[in-house]
Amino acid sequence: MQITTLKTLLDTLNYPVAYQRFRRAVDPPYIVFEFAYTNNFEADDTVYRVRPRYSVYLYTSLKDPEIEEQIEQLFEDNYIVWDKTETFLADEELTQIIYTIYER
């Protein structure tokens, strides 16, 4: 999956979306995403398939299961495999949901 493709998909959710950071302050909820790492298929000293992984961060002022469901449905509809973790950012008073994603 290309970064531009992921950005286009995330934009359909109608929340502010940025790669790595916003250039100005935005109010939650908002989404930030970035390249995380690759998990390539390789054999005999050759990479046969590059499999990029991305991190998608959802920031909300309060936990919002409805937005999480929207994101997860978007991933399912587009054959994107995901794992999820959650943390509370006390200094910013934000809930952060982190999705690690990749294409099937």
- Percentage of the chain with pLDDT > 90? 78
Where are the chain's structural domains?
A: 3-103
pLDDT digits (tens, 9 = 90+) for 61-97: 999 999 999 999 999 999 999 999 999 999 999 999 9
For residues 50 and 29, give the distance between their C-alpha atoms in angstroms, rounded to a whole number.
32
List the single range of 23-27, 41-45, 70-74, 93-97 with lowest mean pLDDT: 41-45
pLDDT of residue 10 exceeding 80, the answer is yes
pLDDT of residue 49 exceeding 90, the answer is no
What is the CATH architecture assignment of 3-103? 2-Layer Sandwich (3.30)
pTM over 0.85: yes
Residue type present at position 72? E
CA 25 to chain centre: 19
